[in-house]
Chains A and B, each alone.
Chain A
Amino acid sequence: MTDDGKDKRENASHAADGDYPLYTNRSDTLAAASGRPLRDLSLQKTLTEDISSEDYSISAETLRAQAEIARDAGYPQLAQNLERASELTAVPNETLLEMYEMLRPGRCSFEEYEALAQRLRDEFDATATAAFVEEAATVYRERGLLRRELE
Chain B
Amino acid sequence: MTTTTMADGSVNGDTGSRRFSILAGRDINRETYVEEWAEAGLTVADSPYDPQPSLRIVGGEVVEMDGKVRADFDALDRFIADHAIDLAVAEEAMATSSHQIARMLVDINVAQSTIRRLADGCTPAKLCEIVRHMNVLEMMMGLGKMRVRKTPANQAHVTNWRENPALLAADAAEAALRGFAEIETTVRVARAAPLNALAILVGSQSSRGGVLTQCAVEEAFGLRLGIKGLTSYAETLSVYGTERSFVDGDDTPWSKAFLASAYASRGIKIRFTSGTGSEALMGYAEQCSMLYLEARCLLVTKGAGSQGVQNGSISCIALPEALPGGVRGVLAENLLASMLGLECASGNDALASHSDLRKTAKLMLQMIPGTDFICSGYSAIPKQDNMFGGGNFDAEDFDDWTVIQRDMQVDGGIRPVREADAVAARRQAAQALQAIYAELEFPPIGDEEVEAAALAHSSEDMPARDMVADLAAADRFLEGTANLSDVVRALHRSGFEQAAENLLEMGRQRVAGDYLQPSAIFEDGFSVISAVNDRNDYTGPGTGYRLEGETWDALQRIPQQKSPRDFIDAQMGDPLPNLAEISTAKVGASANEIVVAVGPAYGRSLVKTIGELDHEEVLEALLTGVAEEAFYGRVVRVYHSADCAAIGHAGARLSGSGIAVGLQSRGTTVIQKRGLAPLNNLELFPQSPSLTLEIYQAIGRNAARYAKGLSPLPVGVKVDNGARLRLIVKTALLHRREIEDIHEKAPQELYFRWEPDV
Contact = CB atoms under 8 A, between A and B. Distances in A.
Interface of A: 17, 20-23, 26, 30-33, 38, 41-43, 46-47, 51-53, 55-59, 62-63, 65-66, 69-70, 73-82, 84-89, 91, 93, 96-97, 99-101, 103-106, 129, 132-133, 135-136, 139-140, 143, 145
A46 B302 contact: no
B617 interface: no
A43 B501 contact: yes
Contacts of A47: 489, 492
20 contacts: A17-B532, A21-B512, A23-B508, A52-B483, A53-B229, A53-B484, A55-B485, A56-B267, A58-B266, A62-B513, A66-B513, A77-B305, A82-B261, A84-B258, A93-B227, A100-B262, A104-B251, A105-B252, A139-B252, A139-B254
B510 A56 contact: yes
A74 B118 CA distance: 13
Contacts of B113: 74
Given A56-B507, A86-B265, A97-B224, A66 B258 contact: no
Interface string B218-235: 011001100111000000
Given A56-B229, A66-B514, A75-B341, A20 B533 contact: yes
Given A22-B513, A23-B514, A77 B83 contact: yes
A99 B220 CA distance: 11
Given A43-B500, A63-B513, A73 B255 contact: no
A42 B260 CA distance: 29
A81 B262 contact: no
Nearest to B518: A75
Contacts of A82: 261, 264, 305, 516
B135 to A, nearest CB: 29
B116 A43 contact: no
Contacts of B304: 77, 81
Contact of B219 (A58, A59, A100): A100
Given A81-B304, A103-B254, A73 B531 contact: yes
B511 A56 contact: yes
A133 B86 CA distance: 22
B75 A145 contact: yes
A129 B15 CA distance: 69
A149 to B, nearest CB: 12
B47 interface: no
Nearest to A59: B511
Interface in B241-287: 243, 247, 250-252, 254-255, 257-267
A51 B229 CA distance: 13
A88 B262 contact: yes
A73 B258 contact: no
B488 interface: yes
Contacts of A42: 504
Contact of A136 (B252, B264, B307, B533): B252
A77 B252 contact: no
Given A91-B265, A103-B254, A21 B533 contact: yes
Given A56-B485, A97-B220, 10 more contacts: A53-B484, A55-B485, A69-B517, A70-B532, A74-B341, A77-B83, A81-B264, A81-B305, A100-B255, A133-B254
Interface of B: 74-75, 78-79, 82-84, 86, 113, 116, 219-220, 223-224, 227-229, 243, 247, 250-252, 254-255, 257-267, 302-307, 341, 483-485, 488-489, 492, 500-501, 504, 507-514, 516-518, 528, 530-533, 535
A143 to B, nearest CB: 5
B85 to A, nearest CB: 10
B484 A105 contact: no
B265 A63 contact: yes
Contacts of B243: 143
Contacts of A96: 223, 262, 265
B265 A105 contact: no
Contacts of A59: 511
Given A21-B528, A30-B512, A81-B304, A53 B488 contact: no
A10 B228 CA distance: 28
B532 A73 contact: yes
Nearest to B247: A105
B703 to A, nearest CB: 77
Contacts of A79: 305
Nearest to B148: A75
A103 B261 CA distance: 13
Contacts of B303: 77
Query: Can you list the 9 inter-chain pairs with the closest CB atoms, starting with the nearest?
Result: A81-B305, A85-B264, A136-B254, A88-B265, A58-B267, A103-B255, A51-B485, A23-B512, A84-B261
Give the interface centre of B257, B303, B305, B501 by most chain A CB atoms within 10 Å: B305
B81 to A, nearest CB: 11
B127 to A, nearest CB: 16
A17 B514 CA distance: 11
Contacts of A132: 254, 257-258
Given A17-B532, A100-B223, A105-B252, A41 B511 contact: yes
Contacts of A78: 305-307, 517-518
A58 B508 CA distance: 9
A73 B512 contact: no
Contacts of B484: 53, 56
B534 to A, nearest CB: 10
Contacts of A74: 113, 116, 341
Contacts of A69: 517, 532
Contacts of B488: 43, 46
Contacts of B489: 46-47
Contacts of B228: 53
A88 B262 CA distance: 7
A117 B263 CA distance: 19
Contacts of A38: 508, 511-512
